[in-house]
Every structure is written in structure tokens, then in C-alpha cells.
Structure 1
Amino acid sequence: SSRYRAIFAPTGYSAAKLRPIFPSHDVSEIGNAPALPFNGELSEIAELRGKDFVLSVGTVEPRKNYEKIIDVAAALQPHNVVSVVVGRSGWGNIVTDLDRASNDPTSNIRWMKDISDSQLRWLYANCRSFLSLSHDEGFNMPLVEAGSLGCSIVASDIAIHRTVSPPWGRLVSPGTPADEIATEIMTAPRATESAYLAYRARYSWDFIAANLLSKIQAHRRTGARSHA
């Protein structure tokens, strides 16, 4: 890193964490963007046709706090809401716990380990709410995907979620009981079209490219002045 004057981070949160590590560098936010194409086709998932469901996306591992999502699923069952988890098996006891819960015929949990982009877009478009209760995240790309498509969002109140969650998202503290989180899910609003399109623009590759170009030009001007 001593070869570089500037370091770019995907969020202001990550930039703040890097500054003490690289005190002699200019560390700033550059942005980040989903790879999921938002305007592609939607492929319906037949078993969820006509059903009310909440969606969580991410590898199944302890940091994602799927234990709490299982509890919230139980609290949603009286409301006839299905809890859909999309993510590959990771590690830890939670993999076994979630597998057991999703295979219980009395459970309202559905675990989908490998789906297409078009199926994922359908899930975002049709879910009652997107739910992420992670203990920690580097960025949380699925949350940004959900926000970019206008989903209502309920997420854990952690630093990165305070940075990337859209204005209409609802943040819940780690100790919030499952039934209270279920209430938030049942009442959280979807975004207006103007709101989610503005949010999407903030996390677009066009925005990142313009931001990067601006920062490069600023550093060139600074370098030219220092050699004048």
C-alpha cells in the first residue's frame, strides 16, 4: 500500500475502519454496486405462487444470525407468512438447524440453496419484506439488491446497515423479540418507484465510475500542484 496515495473503500463505514490502518493515505468511499441485473425476466417459483412470504438471502453461517430468523419464522406462522431463505450451506450448527427446520412438514421455512437470477428477481418482486438480522456485514449486497427493487426491508441495527439500508428500511436492535420483529415485517412499507430508483442510482456502476473519475482527476490536480 506504500506505493499508493489513495485507497478507495466500498462504503464510508469501511473507509472509517481502514483509516487507522493506513493513516498516511487518503482513504475515501468509492461505492459498490450489485451484479444482479434488475431489468431481466422474472421466473416464478411455483410452490410460492399466491403465498405471503418474507425473504432472507445469504450463505448460511453463524454471522448471518439465522437462529433469530428461525424464531421470527415461528412468530410469523400465525399470520400464514412463509419464511424463505436463499443461500448455500456454510458452516456451523446453524446449517443443521436450518436444514432440520426446513424439512419439518409443520414448519413455514423454505430453504432454497441454488436458484437463478430470474427466480431471485421474482422473489424480490413478490416478497412481503426482505429480512436481514446479521450480527456483522462487510456490505450486505442482498440488502442493497432488495432496496434497489423497492422491497420493504427489516434489518438488524448494525453500523453497515445504518449506512446501506434505504430510507424506508426499518432497523431493529439485536435484542428485539421475535414477535416484535414479526410485527415490523407485517407493517413495513414497500418503497415508491421514485424512492427506489433514487436509491438504485446511488448503488450503480455509473455512479461508481463517475465517482472514481472525479477522485482520479482530483488526485492528478493535487499532484500537479505539489510539483509546480
Structure 2
Amino acid sequence: MMEHEFRKCKTIVELVDRIIENSGKRVAICGWALKGSGGDCRVIEQQAKDLFDNGYDVTIFVLEADISLPQGVKIEVIGLPKNSYLSRIYRLIFPLIIYKMFKYAKKLEEFDLIICHRYPLVYLCYFAKKLYGIKYIYWFHHYPDPSHFPSLMHKLWIKLIGWLEAKSCPVKKADIICSVSEFSRRQLKEVGNIDSIVIPNKVRKLKKGVYSIELRHKYGIKENEYVMLFVGRIVPYKNIHSLIRVYKLVKNSIPNLKLVIVGNPSTKDYFEKLKEIADDGVIFTGYIPDEDLYGLYSISDVYVTCSLLEGFDLPLKEAELFGLPAVAFDIPAHREVAGPNTILVKKDNIEQFAKAVLKILQQKKLSKTQKGCVN
């Protein structure tokens, strides 16, 4: 299948319509997990919703799941050990569990097209194609940088997963390969010598949130406190330790300040380190429902991210939809998705980042003072 035929497609629905045309309406979406803390999981969720809304029968296949599905979408949870170390081993060796591969490849035979995100289910999709001739799209997010992880074991794990998601045979054998941004496309070309089309992630519509006073009370934010907001998985390359440094610098000038970090930790040691350096003005919410996330975007004063690597950065786009000013490091994905309200700061320049945040908050403080909102 020639990828240049599909380069004009701007959405997942356009792409699927073009690929399967009138041959059927059953689509499987495969990913390693469907959890609220992962950006790729949110992409899967949005793709399923968009396809279902356009008349497709959609089933999601994942190893584990902890969030509710869009209405009408079905799910097959394959299963994963609860222990974090055992789950990694299971994820790694999944393609070698032959009875599972045959069992779920047989289930995929019923579908007209498969959309696959990440390892290991890309191997399952490849297996289903070999057995039953089913077409599959591989969705590439980004290639991780092992240097951002502290321990040798983490570095080796990330390097291995990176190879499996960017260079392995099942990736290369996909009928269509799609990247989430031009940056991800360049990255895949450089790392795996694989070209792809680009369909940017769609920013989901959040469910309308609870009243601001109730939300502030729930998360311990006073009415007169300013809020810096970050949304994303808690992993080293998100550089949240630098974000806490920024918060402390800004707090020297604006004492009534909170830093709210929304997302689940994926690396326990890193999360423990963050809690050690954080003061009581740093709020770790964990995963929260859409209604609360909507509310936090609404009451926050500035969105902030010191992330060193992104394929797209959905929360930065979500913040833009709420008219929220943002400050982010100047990395390729941020250059691509940042809107007019986003200030990009040279990577690793913490002082300049803090100055940009402080300027935004001081302008808001002045505006509130002029309106008589601040005593």
C-alpha cells in the first residue's frame, strides 16, 4: 500500500475511510494499555470515539485498562500481572506466549482493519496479518531517549522498547505507518529509516467540570492562590524536578502560589524523589476524571511544562483551548503545536523559564488588582 496516497488525510476517520472503503466497518485498536496517565492512551480513546461516531464498530485490545470507555466502544483486556516488574517482563515476552498470540489473532480475524499503538501488540497485529491477511496501521508516537532515565536498568529497558517500537520488523511491515507530528516523522526516519504519513493528535473535548469553589476546596487551593498547572505522566523525561525548581523561584516573588501536577507516576523512584524536593504548595493529584481536569484548566493561571521530549503534547493544546497562557521548553514538538499564548524558553534555562512564568502571573495580579479582586 503506497503511503503517498494517504498523505492528504487529516484525521483518523478520513484515513480509515480511504483504506477500507466499502469493504467493512469493523475496526480494532490495539495498545499496550488504556490508562488515564498516558498520552498514547488518550489518543486511543479519542480515535475509538471518533470512529464510533462515524459509524464504525470499534473494539479496543489492551493488556490492561483503568479508565471508562467512550459510549458504544467495546474492549478486550488481555491481562497483565499486578507486580510492576513482572508486568514489564510479561510485556516484553508477550509475543513469545504462543497460545495468547493465536487466541487473539483469531479474534482479530473478525475485523476489517487494525490500528496499532506501540509494543507488544504490534507483534500481534503482524501475526494476524500473516495468518489472515488483515491490514494494520502502526501509529508512532515518539522515540524515547534512554539518557533521561537514571538507572542502568531503566536505560536498557527504554532502549529496548525504543528499538521494538521504531526499528522492528512488525513496524516496517505495517500497511500504513502514521506519526503524530512532523517531529515524530523525522525521528522515525532518522532512527528506523522508516517514512510515515502525519496525522496530528486530536484534542479531546473534556466533560464540563465542577464549580470552581468546590474544586479548589477538593484540591486544597485557596481563592487567593495562583495556580501553575502541569498534566502528564510522571516520568524523568517530563523533567518535573525542574518544574518544581521553577515553582520555587516564582514563589519567592508570589508566595500565594500552588503547583498542581496531574498524572500518575510511571517510575516509582522518580516520584519519590519529586516528593522529597516538593513543599506543601506542590499538589500531586494522580489520575483525575475529565470533569476535574476541565475545572483545573479553568481555574489555573498558567500552564507549564519543562518536558524534554514529546511526540505531540496534548495537554499543551488542551490548555490553549481554555485560553490559558503557557510556558514550555523550546523542543521540536512544542514548536510544532504551540499556540500564540505559549512562550517557548530555551531548553534547560530554568531562570528564564521562571521569569516568563512570573511575568504572566504579575500581569494577572495587576489585572485582578485593577478590577478590585485582590485586597
Task: Please confirm whether the aligned pair reaches a TM-score higher than 0.5, indicating the same fold.
Answer: yes
Higher relative contact order (CA 8 A, sep 6+): 1
2:242 to 68, 74, 79: 68
- Aligned match of 2:284: 111
Give the C-alpha shift of residue 115 in structure 1: 1.9
- Aligned match of 1:8: 178
2:308 to 109, 131, 135: 135
Calculate the aligned-residue CA RMSD, in Å: 2.3
Are the aligned partners of 1:134 and 1:156 in contact in 2 as well (CA < 8 Å)?
Answer: yes
1:84 aligns with 2:241: no
SS in 2 for 1:135: coil
**Mapping of residues 1-228 of structure 1, within 5 Å:** 1-2=172-173, 4=175, 6-20=176-190, 21=192, 27-35=196-204, 37-38=205-206, 40-43=208-211, 44-46=215-217, 47-50=220-223, 51-78=225-252, 79-80=254-255, 81-91=257-267, 93-102=269-278, 104=279, 107-178=280-351, 180-188=352-360
Are the aligned partners of 1:172 and 1:181 in contact in 2 as well (CA < 8 Å)?
Answer: yes
Distance in 2 of aligned mates of 1:119 and 1:140: 19
Are the aligned partners of 1:101 and 1:109 in contact in 2 as well (CA < 8 Å)?
Answer: no
Distance in 2 of aligned mates of 1:3 and 1:162: 29
SS in 2 for 1:151: coil
**TM-score scaled by structure 1?**
0.70
Distance in 2 of aligned mates of 1:116 and 1:3: 34
Distance in 2 of aligned mates of 1:182 and 1:19: 35
Superposed CA deviations along residues 121-167 of structure 1, whole A, max 9, x for unmatched, are 11111111110101111221211211222111100111111111112
Could you tell me which amino acid in structure 1 is paired with residue 262 of structure 2?
V
Are the aligned partners of 2:183 and 2:311 in contact in 1 as well (CA < 8 Å)?
Answer: no
Could you tell me which amino acid in structure 1 is paired with residue 208 of structure 2?
G
Give the C-alpha shift of residue 60 in structure 1: 1.3
Query: Relative to 1, partners in 2 of residues 1:94 and 1:19: Cα closer, same or farther, differing over 3 Å?
Result: closer
Are the aligned partners of 1:157 and 1:174 in contact in 2 as well (CA < 8 Å)?
Answer: yes
Give the C-alpha shift of residue 45 in structure 1: 3.0
Superposed CA deviations along residues 64-97 of structure 1, whole A, max 9, x for unmatched, are 1011111112112221221111111221643112
**Overall identity of the aligned pairs, in %:** 24
SS in 2 for 1:45: helix
Aligned residue-pair number? 181
Give the C-alpha shift of residue 182 in structure 1: 2.1
Are the aligned partners of 1:124 and 1:151 in contact in 2 as well (CA < 8 Å)?
Answer: yes
Larger Rg: 2
**TM-score scaled by structure 2?**
0.44
SS in 1 for 2:317: helix
Query: Relative to 1, partners in 2 of residues 1:22 and 1:99: Cα closer, same or farther, differing over 3 Å?
Result: same
List alignment gaps of at least 5 residues for structure 1: 190-228
